Amino acid sequence: MRNRALIVGILLAIGVFFSADLHEARYQEKGYDFDILIKNAKVFDGSSNPAVKAEVAIKDDTILKVGRSIKGRARKVIDARSLYLAPGFIDMHTHVDQGMYFPENRACLNYLKQGVTTVIVGQCGRSAWPIFEKAEDLIERWKKDGIGPNAALLVGHGQVREAVMGMENREPTPEELDAMRVLVKEAMEQGAHGLSTGLEYLPGRYGETEEVIELVKVIAPYEGIYHTHMRNEGERLLEAVEEAVKISRESGARVHISHFKAVEKNNWGLVKEACALIEKARADGLKITADQYPYKFSSGYPYRSLIPRSAWLGENEAGRLEAEDLDEIFDHLRDGHLLNLYAKTTPYIPISERHQQFLDELPRKRLVELVRGQLISTGDFQGPANTRERVLFVERMENPEEAAKIRSGVEQYIESMAGAENIIIGICVDKKLEGMSLKQIADLKGQSVADTAIQLELMGARSVPLRMSEEDVEFIMKKDYVATGSDGTAPFYGIGLTHIRSYSTFLHKIKKYGQERKSVPVPHIIRSQTSLSADIMNWKDRGWIKEGYKADVVVFDLDKIKIKTSISNPHQYSEGVKYLLINGKIVLGNGRYTGMLPGKVLKLKGR
């Protein structure tokens, strides 16, 4: 039996050898020099230079030639007249790895349609699923089943910490720190590109600077990179940047700041000082970079209630569920809960023993509380749809003293979110109000902001607060060390309210800032999503249209970019990308998905 297997193996090997040889011979016999020749395109090479007319020839997964006029025959010729060509876009910051656990999301079509050919995942310290199933298992499965874009993995500090210490709020013992080092090293050995933190989340928040430095020191010898969702993006932004700089200085590793911004009105403008800190560190020789998504609203769950929980629930009940508690519960539960769902819907994903234990040991009553907390914190179970809460609320509004209290609470809440002029109504039964600001609607109705907010809330409206300023967004975007990172996900098409960045980041940035506002030159934007990203990740074979580089190529109609997603209707693919090639394979042809999954997991070679 064994012998027979051996013989079959040898025969197969010979077969593969001959057929590869035969394929090459036939190829040349037919006189083909290339697989694909793209003609007549205006080419952005990845630098911040303007586009020039050129031809690009591709064979297998490589750009073989770039020139004004290429001689030779190609199996397929793409006439890109009136179109632009650029290196495929590299997304420095995505959370698509969570959605990609589901086979139907593995193509990441929402990203392909934006021209994205490579994503970096395992971000914000928490999405390092690799720890629970090992990076190599994830890599193996993606290799076997195929993925749309190329993907590079980071190992998440939060996940490593949780694996070793659970959700404990304390410093690690020397043994625990060692155990964390081992997990980080293991991920690096298996091909991860570096470490990510979510220092604003749990349990990442419990990790002091010194702990992070120790773990970043593990990735430094591999020339790995440290991506950080910093401890604070609001009033303590500068302290957070200083911490990132310190981590780079003491670990010797490259540091990359994720979704760089200043949130909340009072902190707008702080980005100038934050950039000055980064630039000083760069002048000192440290390698510090950042990425940004080109929107004024943040968060994966941007759709908010218009009045605070305390207004809905009254002080007694709200006091029981403090906002921070809810966030903690939500963060804490998220991984275990989601993993449980994954396990149910995707049978081949093993639920980790640790998570199973967590779920098993949780007293029933506590679980109900947690789930209720989660539902309330996501807004699904709160407010107008909850009959009991609605009745209690309306009753309280009939008492003048209570009503005055509620109104002033709502006013403060609106101001602290972003101010009425910066709160946009995303979803409303009265469709003509969608897209208007709360201030505009209050003016239209001739009512106070608070009364308008309460009325809209009772109608079940959902709002989106603009937490960043346009001036800040553009200030950051102009920096030559700031790449593009969507911070988006691979959502189920049409389900839930997702941030529009998942559908539009790359083309929106070109269209709005390069073409409409003209505040940032288009080639600068192209560079920020191609060669700059590759440079930050230390890749020498992607991010440019150059001979010998991998054939990740986007061909797009610069003048006909269409962003169809909106905060009222987020699940809409962007239009404008005509051809998209990943590793030399056509994944979008004439704007249509070809069904190919040619993405590779890009591994960092360990030393």
List residues near Zn ion by CB under 5 A: 124, 229
C-alpha closest to that of 116 among 485, 491, 569: 485
Minimum Å gap between C-beta 525 and Zn ion is: 22
Q: Which is nearer to Zn ion, 127 or 190 (CB)?
A: 127
What minimum distance in Å lies between the beta carbon of 271 and Zn ion?
Answer: 17
Rounded alpha-carbon distances, angstroms, from residue 480 to 37, 128, 141, 238, 334: 32, 29, 37, 20, 36
Residue 550 three-state SS = strand
Min dist CB 93 to Zn ion, Å, is 7
Smallest distance, Zn ion to C-beta of residue 198, A: 6
d(CA 161, CA 169): 11
Tell me how far, at minimum, the Cβ of 123 lies from Zn ion, in Å: 6
CB of 124 to Zn ion, least distance (A): 3
CB of 330 to Zn ion, least distance (A): 15
Rank residues 488 and 514 by Cβ distance to Zn ion and give the closer one.
488
Q: 88 or 204, CB closer to Zn ion?
A: 204
Instruction: Sort residue 8 into left (φ over 0), alpha (ψ -120 to 50) or beta.
Output: alpha
For Zn ion, the closer of residues 126 and 578 by Cβ is 126
Question: Which amino acid is it at 362?
Answer: L
3-state secondary structure of 576: coil
Task: For the CB of residue 464, give the shortest distance to Zn ion in the complex, in Å.
Answer: 18
Going by C-alpha positions, the residue among 67, 145, 63 that lies closest to residue 100 is 145
CA-nearest of 289, 264, 292 to 505 is 292
The CB-of-488 to Zn ion minimum distance in angstroms stands at 11
β strands within 150-214, DSSP E = 150-156, 194-198
Residue of 298, 268, 310 whose CA lies nearest to 200: 298
Amino acid at position 312, single letter: W
In terms of CB distance, is 461 or 500 closer to Zn ion? 500
CB-nearer residue toward Zn ion: 91 or 552: 91
Q: How far is the CB of 71 from Zn ion (least distance, A)?
A: 49
**Calpha distance 563→456 (Å, rounded):** 27
Q: Which is nearer to Zn ion, 66 or 192 (CB)?
A: 192
CB 259, min distance to Zn ion, A: 6
Nearest in space to 280 (alpha carbons), one of 233, 242, 236: 242
CB of 270 to Zn ion, least distance (A): 18
Residues with Cβ within 8 Å of 149's Cβ and at least 6 positions away in sequence, in order, are: 91, 108, 111, 112, 116, 117, 118, 119, 582, 599
- 86 or 199: CB nearest Zn ion: 199
Bridge partners, 527 (sequence order): none
What is the rounded CA–CA span in Å between residue 225 and residue 40? 38
Nearer to Zn ion, 479 or 499 (CB): 499
CB atoms near residue 236 (< 10 Å): 15
Backbone angles phi, psi at 596, to 5 degrees: -75, 150
Question: Do 517 and 524 touch, CB atoms closer than 8 A?
Answer: no
Q: Which residues of 30-58 are buried (b: 16+ CB within 10 A; e: fewer)?
A: eebbbbbbbbebbbbbbebeebeebbbbb
Q: Is the peptide bond before 203 cis (omega within 30 degrees of 0)?
A: yes
Closest CB to Zn ion among 229 and 254? 229
Residues in the chain, overall count: 607
Pick between residue 124 and residue 275 the one whose CB is nearest to Zn ion.
124
CB under 8 Å to 521, separation ≥6 — which residues? 48, 514
Of residues 229 and 265, the one with the C-beta less far from Zn ion:
229
Q: What angle do CA 95, 140, 147 make, to 5 degrees?
A: 50
Smallest separation, CB 126 to Zn ion (Å):
8
Q: Which is nearer to Zn ion, 234 or 606 (CB)?
A: 234
Comparing C-alpha atoms, which of 258, 318, 268 is closest to residue 289?
258
Residue 67 CB neighbour total at 10 angstroms: 11
